[in-house]
Structure 1
Amino acid sequence: MTVPILPLPDVAPSVPDAGLGALATERGNLPLDSVDIRADISALVAGVEIAQGFRNPFDVPVEATYIFPLPDRAAVTRMRMEAADRVVEGTLKERAQARADYDAALAAGQRAAIAEEDRPDVFTMRVGNILPGEHVTVRLTLHQPLPYEDDAATFRFPLVVAPRYIPGTPLPDEQAGDGTAADTDLVPDASRISPPVLLPGFPNPVRLSLSAGIDPGGLPLGEIRSSLHVVAQEGGDSGRTAVRLQPGERLDRDFVLRLGYAHAGTTAAALTLSPDGPGEPEGPGTFTLTVLPPAGRAAPRPRDVVLLLDRSGSMGGWSMVAARRAAARIVDTLTDQDRFAVIAFDHTVSTPTALGPGLVRATDRNRFRAVEFLAGLQAHGGTEMLTPLLQATALLNGDDTAGRDRVLVLITDGQVGNEDHILARLDPSLSGLRIHAVGIDQAVNAGFLGRLAMAGRGRLELVESEDRLDEAMEHIHHRIGAPLLTAVSLDWTGLDVDPDSIAPRRLGALFPGVPLTVSGRYHRAFADARATVRAVAADGAPWQQDTTTSVTPSTAATPIWARAHLRDLEDRYAVTGLPDLERRIVETSLRFNVLCRFTAFVAVDSRKVTEGHPTHHVVQPVEQPAGWQLPTAVPMSHPAPPPPGQAPPAAPAAAFGAPPAPGGYAASAESAPAAPPAGAPPAAPFSAPAPAPYGSAPTRGPSMPRGRSLLRRTGRPAGGSPAQDHSATPARPRTHQLLDQELKHLTTTATALSPERWQHLSDLRTRLLGITETARAEGLPAAPLLTLIQTLEITDDPTQQSRLEELWTLTVQTLTTYLGGTPSQSRERRPFWKKHS
């Protein structure tokens, strides 16, 4: 069989020797050496193995951290660590226990790895005690469903975590992760989802390989379209097709394969049963129910439509052009019986003054005014999304909306960090309305936008290029019209279904071209097992369809269901924070061995390979997302909105034009510092601190710059000023950061031999002299540190080592008290993944 493979529109040319990680510098390579992705696609399910290779180019043991994306609907079911002649299978455990096991292994000198989920599509891998010159490979196995809409299935695999806007007030305690953003009250794990970003122009990237074998599974496969350059196609009598990427592709965007399964001829309602084992044909097992929408289009009904358009800096360049076109196309589809409103937002909210407040009739004149307003929008500012969402839902929940379809269309790249906070605040206002999301980006935050669309019983449409917009808008036009079926419910016959297991929990409506897929667990199945789907048609008449039933063993059905069910539970937990939901999430995750926010995979090598914790900790920087670039200037705070008709003001100059620091890290901006004490020399206006030289002192935790890695889209913003999308957040005083690091060193050295500990205190006294000067410059008290320095003078005398424990305890007590804690206070990181933490 021969299947044409076509490029998706707007595919960038392949760049030899370009990619993420392992960049050759004067100080050696970064730890990530290779990323190998192998997918096996069968009909509408993909099994994927991703192998991450880490290499230690230094002469001391290293711990490497890599913040990376995975498909938001994928179920991670296995982790395996390979090093030298050792293969260690990972074990899924409750997250706190997994982290404790990992830390204990490193302290004992054992090699270990841990994989954690921070968002549905953002994960963190840590690999510790990699020996000098050693190569360690960590493999993850996952299963993901392929969305099937409009006669095409989509295999999407994200390759980079894009910078996200982090709102809120910085937290005073220790950072949860090793990223560049400070944790805040609204995003308590911001430091875990903000990897440092590579400056452009570095050659010799990581070796990226990606291949996909495609088995149509009996479905008629038409064309294949790819967002990146695919170089091979192998067809045979089996009907399989194999594709792989050209060498040199960057890890800077989503990889997308669109598979045309035209006219698949699927039954209108099909129920598939997958028993847990071959010897258990009657159950227990997992069911998958697929319902195709009826043919035709629903008659139009009066609608209230609110268009919410993101114009923040991350939407600059082609994204802003595509967003304006998308919104204008939706406005053009409205009729005189519809009402609408248009809201644009960055860190401020604006509406067309010519239309007035509230919903207005979609007359020709009003539609023209709306399109005129949209044409003038430019990208700048931060992404404050909650306020405009609440404003939009308030319009749709007004007293005069009875009998009308209420629709909210959000057009954005979704690059925000406070997803849980937004969903929790928005949830009470979602009853009776639908939210459709249009994700425009080559590295979109699909995890959040999918959660939002599901909560609003709507659809998510991804647009990865401007040229694909026309196709996507045709789909969106059908979605915002009246649904074909509403009030969907299920009745079961001959199948003992666990009602609490059904995912999604909200069945929503059926739209043209979009099947409804429901999965869940059953205890027992009988010969007459079937489901009856009931709904209300667009004309108000009852609609009913009985399913055909088949039994098909599948290793992917249960983990895919488990991931969908866990996502439902996690979204409910984000809204309520109930401890019972936390318990159910952990139990479900461990029972079905599927990773979630409350669990983690940990692999510990039983062999001791070194003495204690690794000397260096390296956070792997990631590629800039395609179409983004570093700004030449960074505003210290959100600028005031410009007057109508004027371009946004230029931001003050910042130190992003300086040569990059060794190691290829992007400079990270701190927010404006507090006013200096009286008599202190004035600080340079908003100078970004340079990262520590690569390969020097540990770059972990508070010692890292805590501002945002600020990026903007490629494209000229209004007035020539940079399109700014992320504002910096205040960091902790440098004194506190340094003392926090010293406390960590004291903790990790507490079990060392007495002579080594004595020497550590002697060296600490010298370092405290420098920290005291930093404290004075920051207007912080220096007396407690000076007293401790004077006490530690005794460490110059080796004959006084009998006082080691006394001095050690005093040092820990003094530094802990200075930082605002107590000597007995645990230095462990807080459980940032819990809502009530």
Structure 2
Amino acid sequence: MLCKVRFVEIQSLTAKIPLYCFGLTLSADRKLVLGFLQKQSKMVDCGLLTHNREPVPLKHIEVDLQVQGHVAAVTSTLQYVNEEEHPLEAVFVFPMPSGAALCQFSAKIGDQEIVAEVQEKQEAREQYDDALSSGEQAFLLEESEESADVFKLSVGSLPPGQSAAITFIYITELSVEADHSLRFCLPTVLNPRYTPAGTSAGIVSEITSSSTGIPYSLSFTAHITSPNPITKVESKCPLEPLMFLNTDQTKAKVSLCADHKFNRDVELYLYYQNPHQLTAIVEAGAPTAQPGSLMGDPVVMVSFYPEFPESVMSSVSSCGEFVFVMDRSGSMSDMMYNGPDAQKRIECARDTLLLLLKSLPVGCFFNIYGFGSDYESFFPKSVQYTQDTMEQAVKKVKEMRADMGGTEILRPLEHIYTQDCIPNHPRQLFIFTDGEVGNTKDVLHCVRRNADFHRCFSFGIGEGASSALITGLAENSSGHAQFITGAERMQAKVMQSLRYALQPAVIDITEDWSGVSFTPLSPPIKTLFHGQRALIYAQLKGEECQKPDAKGKISVRYRLGDQDVSNTVNFSLKPAENSGLAIHRLGARSLIRSLERDEQDDGADKEALKARVVELSKQSGVSSSHTAFIAVHKGSGQAVKGPMMPRRIHADLMLGCSLRSFHLCRASPFDIFLPQTPEAPKDLLLQLISLQKASGCWEMESKLAEVFGRTEKKLMKKIPAQVKPDVWATLLALIWLHGFKIDAQVEWQILAMKAVAWIRTQKVVNQSECVRVGNVLLGCQVKEDALGL
């Protein structure tokens, strides 16, 4: 007998969701109910559960990764068994990288395989309901209404004792890391998404967990092909040795070790030679598709990854309005990772805000917002950066707690956008969140409406942050996104983004094609920062594509600083090897996403745009917000009869889910927050940073002497003649940074540049002598020119 649960709204839950637990028992109008805290703090069913509150067993996951240059096709097969005495309907929820395109889904029940087809979403839902009421096995796979990086699979009428193998294929672009590697991530967790009051329950999720660990096995293999030679493949997970499959090392294979524990994201970092080289890959159309259609014609993918010269990297702007928006919801009290040295997310955020405040240029404007169920700002509006305003902000940062309830990011953003922009000070938003938001599409629409007045640098904190939210914030405002996972230092990635915000960016980007007729599939590129890459998709048309020796050429022209630059690549129109139409489908996904964004604009012809999206989705087999995958197995089942009943599960079965680890929903008459006390800087580097003045200098004091392992009296005894104490202190700080913290240079480089600029204003007559004495005093061997003086 199928069961039904009543769905209610939840405000915030903070536990993570292991992949094997996504979903719940039995559906109610296909909406997810994965938790609700009643006034007595009781929980409704969560996880993929039977009516006896046991998980539907997931036995094995098999993942095959096919990489072609900068894109990847991922095939995942999940094997389930219904060990109950009753047929089950279950909902399985899984995350997907932002920008990924789901393009194929099939299910095998026993010996029978069912392949899904793409249909308009409402038609697919009605067909699914009709199949269930007739006793037929059915599968419905659809994109979440709230966030494009979450998919929901409804498994209908799985017979007792029966096994089910569910296979889905998606394609995605690989992100570029700071060291020029390409990153692929297989998510294991999807953080619960906060849903604001007055909206639908959406994709809020909670978990159960086996006390004996992950109850299933995983196999993972990656096949890599690149236009340029592959130099290495790395991972934070244990890998088998890399195997090259040809002599020029453009093809390789690597697998996850068999004893891997699937308790964190599986990440691969791929390194190619000549990463900044403009490349183009042509993919043949499907033989069965109509010539002239998107899937019937060849499609080209151009990888554009501009190189920034040192002259640009060393230039820093002194203007701007910097608005830091910090998640202070309950989940920010979670640990950054599982380990003895792990900090809480809010602690890392405080340290990072301190570093940002010290690194801002004199004369800029800034403000800091904290948000949860509500929001607050340090100042009524952005203030000029001075010693006084910086000290006020530092004091408030040290008092910040993860004590603001849920994760409602839309309201503070709307408030920020109502503030008048400051002339000649471009507005730059730095948004920090663990991504637990249920109204992602509304947030991104708000950001896009205001894209002409700001750009956004977004940071996803911890495993499972929503890639759709974090990446979408940046993409919709010509900004830059970063993810901080595992033991990575938040400070390093955030300071990298601050450099981007202060440096010139690639602008005025144009594409010149020759030798080919084409239809663009990608939106125009507006801005690229250092370390960013763009993929350009185009449908190739015309008879020239049929000639065996036909050539095409594309030149990408842009402006960087005061320079006009052009990159050109010649490419053969002869298609590459069959790659499963991954490039076609990513091109289709790019066009579909553009049309979906256009639907949000005021005055848009929504019906016409929807019809075009549905047409493209069905033609390419790529998922969209208006379509779903539907598969029905015509069997001899009997119609489902009888009422659907709710089931409950006690809170003590939740993973880490005591009153210490989640916040109560707004329906509760009370909230519980654990007291926290401010902590001192975690290391000497942060202590040094905390003592720097807004101008860039340090003053001689006992706390600074502690960083150097000396007394203030000893430091002053060695001061060279005619040198002021603050100049001496600043020179010692620079020597210490270069001598002992060079590995963390990305974190302190900007504030060191401020210090150097300040020293130059002091006209130090015996600077070389100061550096020599400082080296002896601190036990360093730093050369004067290394300090940038």
Q: Work out whether the TM-score is over 0.5.
A: yes
Return the offset for 1:568.
2.5
Partner SS for 1:431:
helix
Partner SS for 1:561:
helix
Aligned match of 2:168: 140
Return the offset for 1:59.
1.9
Aligned-partner residue type, residue 535 of structure 2 = T
Within 5 A, what are the aligned runs for 1:574-653? Answer: 574-576=600-602, 578-612=606-640, 629-632=657-660
Aligned match of 1:780: none
Selected match of 2:316 from 300, 314, 331: 300
Return the offset for 1:129.
1.8
Return the offset for 1:83.
1.3
Aligned match of 1:646: none
Selected match of 1:512 from 523, 530, 533: 530
Q: Give the Cα separation in 1 of the matches to 2:566 and 2:190.
A: 44
Q: Give the Cα separation in 2 of the matches to 1:226 and 1:565.
A: 32
Aligned match of 1:391: 415
Partner SS for 1:98:
helix
Within 5 A, what are the aligned runs for 1:669-680? Answer: 671-672=667-668
Could you tell which deviates more after superposition, 556-565 or 626-635? 626-635
Q: Give the Cα separation in 2 of the matches to 1:27 and 1:538.
A: 61
Return the offset for 1:449.
1.7
Within 5 A, what are the aligned runs for 1:346-365? Answer: 346-352=372-378, 356-365=379-388
Q: Give the Cα separation in 1 of the matches to 2:73 and 2:171.
A: 5
Aligned match of 1:175: none
Partner SS for 1:608:
coil
Partner SS for 1:510:
coil
Aligned match of 2:752: none
Q: Give the Cα separation in 2 of the matches to 1:440 and 1:68.
A: 19
State yes or no: 1:273 paired with 2:297. no
Q: Give the Cα separation in 1 of the matches to 2:352 and 2:439.
A: 25
Within 5 A, what are the aligned runs for 1:813-832? Answer: none
**CA-to-aligned-CA distance 1:522-545 (integer Å, 9 cap, x gap):** 333564533332333222x54433
Could you tell which deviates more after superposition, 279-288 or 446-455? 279-288
Aligned match of 1:497: 518
Q: Give the Cα separation in 1 of the matches to 2:130 and 2:569.
A: 53
Q: Give the Cα separation in 1 of the matches to 2:642 and 2:519.
A: 48
Return the offset for 1:516.
2.3
Return the offset for 1:519.
1.7
Aligned-partner residue type, residue 596 of structure 1 = S
**CA-to-aligned-CA distance 1:451-509 (integer Å, 9 cap, x gap):** 1211101111000135342442353233222333212222333333324x32xx25121
Q: Give the Cα separation in 1 of the matches to 2:600 and 2:653.
A: 28
Aligned-residue Cα RMSD (Å) equals 3.7
Aligned match of 2:571: 549
Selected match of 1:535 from 545, 558, 570: 558
Partner SS for 1:498:
strand
User: How many residue pairs align between the two structures?
Assistant: 601
State yes or no: 1:285 paired with 2:311. no
Aligned-partner residue type, residue 194 of structure 1 = V
Aligned-partner residue type, residue 233 of structure 1 = P
State yes or no: 1:401 paired with 2:417. no
State yes or no: 1:457 paired with 2:470. no
Selected match of 1:718 from 673, 676, 689: 676
Q: Give the Cα separation in 1 of the matches to 2:447 and 2:103.
A: 32
Contact 1:63 1:614 in 2 (8 A): no
Structure 1 pair 508/626, CA: closer, same or farther in 2 (3 Å)?
farther
Contact 2:186 2:266 in 1 (8 A): yes
Contact 2:330 2:662 in 1 (8 A): no
Within 5 A, what are the aligned runs for 1:203-222? Answer: 203=212, 205-215=214-224, 217=226, 219-222=228-231
Selected match of 2:399 from 376, 384, 392: 376
Partner SS for 1:436:
strand
Partner SS for 2:635:
strand
Contact 1:486 1:509 in 2 (8 A): yes
Structure 1 pair 545/213, CA: closer, same or farther in 2 (3 Å)?
closer
State yes or no: 1:478 paired with 2:478. no
Contact 2:19 2:188 in 1 (8 A): no
**CA-to-aligned-CA distance 1:37-57 (integer Å, 9 cap, x gap):** 232334422221111223222
Q: Give the Cα separation in 1 of the matches to 2:531 and 2:109.
A: 48
Q: Give the Cα separation in 2 of the matches to 1:484 and 1:237.
A: 39
Within 5 A, what are the aligned runs for 1:314-353? Answer: 314-317=331-334, 318-352=344-378
Within 5 A, what are the aligned runs for 1:62-81? Answer: 62-81=88-107
Structure 1 pair 627/341, CA: closer, same or farther in 2 (3 Å)?
farther
Partner SS for 1:202:
coil
Selected match of 1:233 from 229, 241, 253: 241
Structure 1 pair 351/498, CA: closer, same or farther in 2 (3 Å)?
same
Q: Give the Cα separation in 2 of the matches to 1:222 and 1:614.
A: 61
Return the offset for 1:133.
0.5
Q: Give the Cα separation in 1 of the matches to 2:608 and 2:100.
A: 25
Contact 2:59 2:81 in 1 (8 A): yes
**CA-to-aligned-CA distance 1:24-46 (integer Å, 9 cap, x gap):** 99775525444332323344222
Q: Give the Cα separation in 1 of the matches to 2:388 and 2:482.
A: 29
Within 5 A, what are the aligned runs for 1:556-575? Answer: 556-575=582-601
Aligned-partner residue type, residue 249 of structure 1 = K
TM-score normalised according to structure 2 size: 0.69
Return the offset for 1:423.
2.6
Unaligned runs of 5+ in 1: 1-15, 170-183, 639-670, 673-684, 687-709, 721-837
Q: Give the Cα separation in 2 of the matches to 1:362 and 1:483.
A: 21
**CA-to-aligned-CA distance 1:188-209 (integer Å, 9 cap, x gap):** 4x34x124421x5533644141
Q: Give the Cα separation in 2 of the matches to 1:620 and 1:246.
A: 36
**CA-to-aligned-CA distance 1:700-720 (integer Å, 9 cap, x gap):** xxxxxxxxxx999xxx65279
Return the offset for 1:596.
1.5
Return the offset for 1:369.
3.4
Selected match of 1:425 from 431, 434, 446: 446
Aligned-partner residue type, residue 378 of structure 1 = R
Structure 1 pair 550/528, CA: closer, same or farther in 2 (3 Å)?
closer
Aligned-partner residue type, residue 373 of structure 2 = H
Structure 1 pair 231/108, CA: closer, same or farther in 2 (3 Å)?
same
Aligned-partner residue type, residue 568 of structure 2 = D
Aligned-partner residue type, residue 408 of structure 2 = E
Partner SS for 2:452:
coil
Contact 1:128 1:614 in 2 (8 A): no
Identity %: 22
Structure 1 pair 249/417, CA: closer, same or farther in 2 (3 Å)?
same
Unaligned runs of 5+ in 2: 1-17, 23-46, 335-343, 679-789
**CA-to-aligned-CA distance 1:421-452 (integer Å, 9 cap, x gap):** 22333433221421110111211011122112
Structure 1 pair 284/224, CA: closer, same or farther in 2 (3 Å)?
closer
Return the offset for 1:518.
2.0
Could you tell which deviates more after superposition, 435-444 or 240-249? 240-249
